[in-house]
Structure formats: C-alpha cells, structure tokens
Amino acid sequence: MKKLKIIFATLFIALSLLGCTKQEGLQNLTASEFQTTLKSAEPGQILDVRTSDEYAHGHIKGAVLADISSNLFQEAAAKLDKSKVVYVYCLSGGRSSAAATQLQEMGFKSIVNLSGGMLAWQSANLPISTSEGVSAPSSGMTLADFDKQLQGKKLVIVDYNATWCGPCKQLSPVLEAWVKAQNGKVELIKIDVDANQELAKAKQIESIPYLEFYINGKLANKQTGMGEAKAMTEKWTQILL
C-alpha cells in the first residue's frame, strides 16, 4: 500500500509539472493586468499585430506596428530582444494568440498576450494613442444612433464584424441566406466594429463575430463566435420565429 501511495504521488507531481510546462513563457492577461505590466515594458517590445489602418485609428502607446498578415511581423520580431518580455495584442485576441505561438517557436521565452485585444482595452476605458500626423478618426455610430435604427422594427439580427475577421466572413453567407429565406420577416443590420468603436465600447464587445437578436426593439438573445450552420439557423429560428 505504501508503494502504491508513492507511485501515485510521483505520477501526480509529474502531471502537475507537465501542465505547468505547457503554458510556460506565455501569459494571457486582462486589459487592466496588461496595462499594469506595460509599466515595465522595454522600448520596442510591444507589438500591435493588426493592420496599418487599424493601428492608425488607435493603438496602445509605445506599440510597434507588426501586421501578422504581412512581412511586418517577421521584420518587427527580428528586432526584438528574446531575453526580454514581449507584449502582443490585436483587436479581439485571435491574431495576437497566433502571433504569440509564432514568437514561442522563434525562441522568445516570455510573452504577454492581451486577452480580448483592443476591444477589451476600450471597454476598460484605457488610453489610446493615434499615429503622428493622423487625425482622430470618427468614432462612428453612437448607442443613441443604434437605438434609432431599431425603432419600429419587429425582428432584427445585428451582426458585429470586421473586414479582417475570418470567422465573420464564414458566418456572413450563412446569416444572409437565412435572413433572405425569411422573406422580409427579419432584418439584418451589419456593423463594422472598427468603424464604430464608440458603439463597440458601449456594448463592451470583446470578441467577434458577435450577433444580437432583437424583438420589437428589445434584446432577446446573443451569439458569440461561429458554430455549425444547421445548429445556428435552428437556434435563430427558435429565438425569432
């Protein structure tokens, strides 16, 4: 019995160490935690892996543009000090998670990823900088503007998306086909979160694709992310019809 206890204890320790090793060197922090750790960040070690347009519309002070969809990411990463902490973020966390994985493969030992990206940062009312020489962009639709769009409409689906968002592009044709099949009973409103940052902030949107379902102007349900087409359309029917 004593030998069995020793064996189980050894296995438990080994599994615990294995679990710790899997996430070693990578931290996923909330917006407030991310901001706190940035106080000790080295110059040039903060990477904004979004596009140049997204970066110009507002970024975290001190961040270097490193668009992961272009050669900029590799170029920016090559200039970093692998012995120091590197910070990464995007709009909602998807691209920065991919960037963090690449950085680990490149030999970086300490990486901090912003969970929820700039959407979470904005929802937490944290400061945003704009590129030198770029005028402050329009914040787009306000919450009051949004409410006006719902007035007098019985059944509405609001699709919050972005041009760079892969899952949004996958969801769009499924959503549009289902709305069309309802023969005018349901209206679809599509909102780009990049162009309507004030609204995204007011609604505390931290991940896209994100859908809202309204009945007579009242929020009836929500959906975050992309699911299996048949299951989604069945759920939409159940919610609105």
Q: How many CB atoms lie within 10 A of CB 94?
A: 18
Give every CB contact of residue 54 below 8 A, 6+ residues apart in sequence: 48, 91, 118, 164, 194
Number of helical H runs and strand E runs in the chain: 10, 9
| Residue in 60, 120, 168, 208 annotated catalytic | 168
Distance CA 208, CA 91 (A): 9
Active site annotation includes 90:
no
Q: Are 92 and 7 in contact (CB under 8 A)?
A: no
| Residue in 88, 100, 165, 240 annotated catalytic | 165
Q: Report, as residue numbers or ranges, the catalytic residues.
A: 165, 168
